[in-house]
Copies of this chain bind each other. A is one copy, B any other.
Amino acid sequence: MTKKPFPLSKVYTLIEPGPMVMVTTAYKGRPNIMTLSWHTMIDFEPPLLGCVVSNRNYTFDILRTTKECVINIPTVELAKKAVGCGNTSGREIDKFKKFRLTPVEASCVKAPLIDECYAHLECKVVDAGMADRYNLFILEVVRAWIDPRKKDPRTLHHRGKDVFMASGKTIRLRNKMK
């Protein structure tokens, strides 16, 4: 793998703009992938994320049982595969095989990284108390990785149904906010 460690204090810069992410889990040695856009930063450091995973998804029970996952961030080149992973269920197929994605061992969790993605956040579920009511899991990022070769990654953003958006031009503005 050609990724390098990414500082935990900067994880918010990857999640805050709202990219579609591919969440990997592993249960009894079998890895799985789901695609989602319903997430938010909750705190800067240690980086906490809120992730909404429908209880109809295979990933919901696995997250609750294993308390681990990896948030992988794809770029536009992966659009078809990311959408494909969202349209299928890990109950029926092996998505790594079906979509020709490469699992890479993570360092702190059993869920694999997806090598084709440009960034990865290894996460522990630190609070599942809102899972019953809101399908909401609080994740702590314990390790982060980024592809140093991707200088200006085009992230994917979902606008509903068949419509997706690629991140566009960069705007620089003096800003006191983190």
* Residues of chain A having any CB pair with chain B under 8 Å: 10, 12-13, 16-19, 35, 37-43, 48, 50, 52, 76, 79-80, 83, 86-87, 130, 134-136, 138, 154, 156-178
Q: Is the CB of B168 within 8 A of A166?
A: yes
A178 to B54, CA, bound (A): 12
A18 to B36, CA, bound (A): 12
Minimal beta-carbon separation of A89 from chain B (angstroms): 11
Task: Quickly give the copy total for this chain.
Answer: 2
Q: Is the CB of B38 within 8 A of A42?
A: yes
In the A-B complex, the 8 residue pairs with the closest CB atoms: A18-B18, A168-B168, A13-B160, A17-B157, A40-B40, A164-B171, A166-B168, A87-B176
In-complex Cβ contact of A18 among B16, B83, B130, B176 (8 A) = B16
A41 to B171, CA, bound (A): 26
Q: When A157-B17, A177-B86 are in contact, do A136 and B172 touch as well, CB less than 8 Å?
A: no
